Structure 1
Amino acid sequence: MAVVALSVVERRLDAVRAVLSGAPVAEVARGVGVSRQSLHTWVARYLLGGVAGLANRSSRPMLSPSRAPDEVEAAVAELRREHPRWGARRIRLELLRADPPWHPGEGLDAAAVPSTATINRILLRHGLVKPRPRKRPRSSFVRFERPGPMQLWGIDIVGGIELVNPVTGELREAKIVTGVDDHSRFCVMAQVVERATGRAVCLAFAKALAAYGVPEEVITDNGKQFTARFAKGGEALFDKICRNNAITHRLTQPASPNQNGKVERFHGTFRPEISEQGPFVSLVEAQGAVDVWVAHYNAERPHQALDEQAPVMPADRFTPTKDEAMLPLWVPPSLEIAPGPAAGDAQVTAAVEGPVIVATDRPRRVPGSGAPVELDKVAPASGNMTVGRQQVWLGPERSGQVVRVWADCDWLHLSIGAQRIKTLRSRLTVNDLDVLAARGAWPAGDPPAAARARAREGVVEVERTVARTGNISLGNKAVAVAELLAGRRVGVWIEDHAPLIFFDPATRTILRTRPNTLSPGDQYTLQQAVPTGERPRPAVEPVTVQRRASATGIIAVAGQKVPLGRIHAGATVTVHAAEATLAIELPDGDTRVVRRTNDNAVRSMKGQRPRTA
């Protein structure tokens, strides 16, 4: 049997005829699957319009009292046509301004300004925007923002400015070094440069620091202008400026521009609008156009991310921290392209406008004078650091540490955290010192206190690495130190008619003493001799050694004999040698403490091996 599908109008007509023939409305409505009110509506529409009245109709109301007035729609459409890049949120913020710059004196009442969604619908009705598919809701995004200004700057490099040669008409692209404050979105830096070299970036950064003060943190990508993270060694100039001004330098993960999203979003607004004004004939003209745009952006342009309900400019939320009472700004001498101020002026100054960046009260070094210099270097992963043309071995354990280098033509003094770690003969020439000064080294003061030579007749200090056999070489002679110290760097205190003292160069505590086999005066011919520091001192912490009791039950520690009794003859005991006592752990578990009768250094760590017949 064939089943005929009825249309909507036919089903409604059958229900209406059933009601008109006397069937109960409730039963007919239940059979059709609609409410009684809907069925009564069908009957009324059938009686007025016949079968045609049962067709579907639009539910749109005839009137909409809440619709935006015609003058509001006209203002929205006019703003969009005058500024094709303005979206609904920007148009709403402009309508909220009491005296808008686009039509002075014609601002709308705040109550008459429609919402962002209404403005979007107006633009769609007028065909001024293209309909787009629904995106992820803004409420699902997790946004972060520092609670105050000058806490974090986002810094990056962007292209988009074209320079034209007025003679040949050739175009080339310039770069802009940009910086945005995280809290206020205030543009602190927008410097046009011919090429984005490390020096050009640091010049722009130094200019921003001098103009607004020093932020707590900056965040950049991993470009070679900002960091030597992926380089083989050394320290980038940008990193050095941050470190010396106590600025925490944060780096984004590779290929993650969203981690520096605020400055990237700034580029989305800045680059299209500034490129429309080009091409420019010179860097000066391009910089002038950028400065005008930045001034308008900071002080006159409402920022949509700051407040969607009221127009807020970045300058309203930004407060610089430049204060005369704060510490002076540090910049490397290579960026000091202007003469320094008069003597006695200890405050670092900077010119915000023009090519002059900074001038300091640092004394000027005369090239060719051979005067000592100081510089900071980061120890590479290999532990083999280069100072000029001279290599200095520090060891892999010091990788990543900042080393302060004091250098002249005679000595190299290396310190970490105000603690001298190494002193060696310098192979640098006067020209090498001048090159270091040109690359950022500054005139040095006095050498480190521990490295200052003292008038000690017949005293020499050297450093050696203990060999695997426990020996070192002094004047082509093998001197036994201790197998326990194999591979360790030790200092040797050599004095006429006195035993050799081996000590830890970092703490200058005595490790061992050995007889002096050198002839008087031989110490002056030793290689890598360094100026003497303070005399090594005995270790404050107890030294743990082992001793084997003799046949009569006697042990000797640092030249002091201690009888244990014949019951312990031949036994090996552990002795903790402190500054004033000797604590002896006996084989039966008892501990005997005796007073030390001398201050001799402990020479050997292990007891004598048993003799075999």
Structure 2
Amino acid sequence: MTHLNAALTPRHRLKVARLVVEDGHPISEVAARFQVSWPTVKRWVDRYLAGESMNDRSSRPKSSPKKTNKAVTKRCVSLRMRLREGPIQLAARLGIAPSTVHRILTAARLNRLSYVDGATGEPVRRYEHPHPGSLVHVDVKKIGNIPDGGGWRYVGRRQGQKNRAATPDKPKNKWHSPKLGYAFVHTVIDDHSRVAYAEVHDDETAITAVAVLHRAVEWLAERSVTIERVLSDNGGAYRSYLWRDTCEALSIRPKFTRPYRPQTNGKVERFHRTMGDGWAYARCYTSEQERRDALPDWLHHYNQHRPHSACGNQPPFSRLINVPGQYI
């Protein structure tokens, strides 16, 4: 690739060579016209006469006698994946310099432990489907309900217990404390755009999951997105016949993660973490209903205003085209 301060680009190099070879202009005259030296014009003329490319040649040497042996490189990568040790420890095992180990790991994209899966030692494989709707991720996030007056995260343990005991119309546990139960956030997130759709319910049954999927399909269809595949974990709702038949009726191909591998569904898992920080535990809610009522506004902010690093620091809606109200 030509550097930024190059006097001649490949296209102008070809023009220079043709002016000399085909049009018969003197080299000195062409050099003065393009404000380059006489040897520079001669170099590209010779390249043109030899039928060579006008692009820069590689600066890589023809031979590298001191290059690290391939067997050492492979062993370095293998030890990194298996032992998860740093350059200094690996250098002692291999008998080479730590800087050489770091160079090998950088070339293999293993120089950071975050690039290596903690459970298997395999390199983290990142992917993104080519267009919206090609794949959506679904999952359920289970969070505890908030007692009237606020939960312990903001009002403290003692006041939180008092608010819990004062919350009406709740069954009691064996310690005579109200059982507040859980809220289940059903989430559908598009793999390509990271646009998210979520609803809060009191259960995670197949009937609820299917109803959420229907509404998510309609919501995305209004934004010109057609779902082709859906990826879920192996929960009972998603392994049910009702989920299978619903996906077939909607012309959606269901896919499932490998058991005990939540990383496969990492995009929705990461969204749940963002949702917890930005909505579920972002401020002191005085009741569970107040928190649930705040979810639509936060989703609007996430989809249309919040910068997303996976979208080039633009909001997820920036990856959708011709969506009504996209910039509101």
TM-score, length of structure 1 as denominator length: 0.27
- State the structure with bigger RCO (CA 8 A, min sep 6), 1 or 2: 2
Q: Which has the higher helix share?
A: 2
Larger Rg computed on CA atoms: 1
Q: Which has the higher strand share?
A: 1
